[in-house]
Amino acid sequence: MGRDFPDRWVVFRASALGDVALTTGVLSWWHQTRQLRFTVVTRSALAPILAGHPAVDEVIAVTQDEIDGHAWWRKSRRIATDCAGMGFIDLHRSLRSLALTLRWDGPVRSYPKFGIARRLYNLLPLGPIERRLLALNVPQRYALALDSTPPPVSELRPVIHLSELEVASARQHLAHLGLTRPFVALHPFATHPDKAWPMGYWLSLIPLIERQGLDWIIIGKNPDHLEALDDPRNLTAKTALRETCALISQARALITADSGPMHLATAVGTPVVALFGPTSKVWGFFPSGPYDTVLEQALSCRPCSLHGTTRCKNGRECLTAIEPDEVATRLFQTLERAAAAPA
């Protein structure tokens, strides 16, 4: 390939957990269809997601200190200099990525973020805007940075490459906890509180899972550490990112809100039961696995924000109206469908 379309590209996506996870399937797609290789620039805390990815030669992990203010202007200059001769793909579309774009000596590509359409729809949910947003999920939008037409959703599912050692370590950890039955992973947290299913509902869900002969673990991180549940299976804030991925890979399913771990589960092949409240499919973040399922309420006030940050005036009805019995039923249906699938 020539300079106008090199075979090595730098990809920038700094945050958040789910956004970076969703790049992984797109990188695989470009590697398979175009034989491209990548250097990825992302935050240090998220860099482990890309470990072992066959299309990624290097991850440039930047700390919070490096990505802020004048420090980022200096860091971006070093990155542009060190990666001379490579193309640049902006999958973030931010002021930070603009600093790299302005410095880049080579081809630069970016993706259609649909920022204006998303904000317009949030204010005025008209049909034409809705159809435009629903036509492409986020990985498909990412893919349009290089592709003229969006690939199928199934070709862009996120993928995390776990080593045999990581999987073996997860199994050993589960055995140490005393888990001998098939289990479900629970992620009862969300970055923004109004996206989270009420904690009391989670505690009511656990006995329903146990009655079906299943065990459970709780994964994720939260400043409260879910202290109300004193149980060794509560692994809140006790596992690193790739350890969490390996544990999820051994679960029969993950139950979660709209969250980063939702995409981690799809990336390791574990079915997802996702509870969507203030956010919705139009934003492009629905889980995409073959057995993934979403529970949501048909309310006129949904979606009420882009990221779930708007404070709810209706008592979070979009989530409180989803009962534990309904979640348990959907979980068991998901497990049945997955079990009936051809090997």
Per-residue pLDDT of the chain (343 residues; tens, 9 = 90+): 556 789 999 999 998 999 999 999 999 999 999 999 999 999 999 999 999 999 999 999 999 999 988 899 999 999 999 999 999 999 999 999 999 999 999 999 999 999 889 888 888 888 999 999 999 999 999 999 999 999 999 999 999 999 999 999 999 999 999 999 999 999 999 888 888 899 999 999 999 999 999 999 999 987 554 555 789 999 999 999 999 999 999 999 999 999 999 999 999 999 999 999 999 999 999 999 999 999 999 988 888 877 777 777 777 899 999 999 999 999 999 999 999 887 6
* Buried b / exposed e along 241-275 (16+ C-beta atoms within 10 A): bbbbbbbbbbbbbbbbbbbbbbbbbbbbbbbbbbb
Amino acid at 219: I
| Residue 106: CB atoms within 10 Å | 16
By three-state DSSP, how is residue 326 classified? helix
For the chain, give every domain's residue range. Answer: 8-155, 164-340
Q: In angstroms, rounded to a whole number, what is the distance separating the alpha carbons of residues 33 and 30?
A: 5
Which class does domain 164-340 fall in? alpha beta
Domains 8-155 and 164-340 are alike in CATH topology? yes
Pairing of the two strands 87-90 and 254-257: unpaired
**Do residues 42 and 13 lie in contact, with contact meaning Cβ atoms separated by under 8 Å?**
yes
pLDDT at residue 226, rounded to an integer: 55
**Do residues 37 and 57 lie in contact, with contact meaning Cβ atoms separated by under 8 Å?**
yes
| Cis peptide bond N-terminal to 232, omega within 30 | no
Looking at domain 8-155, its CATH superfamily turns out to be Glycogen Phosphorylase B; (3.40.50.2000)
Q: In angstroms, rounded to a whole number, what is the distance separating the alpha carbons of residues 129 and 111?
A: 18
3-state secondary structure 60-123: EEECHHHHCHHHHHHHHHHHHHHCCCCEEEECCCCHHHHHHHHHCCCCEEECCCCHHHHHHHHH
pLDDT at residue 1, rounded to an integer: 58
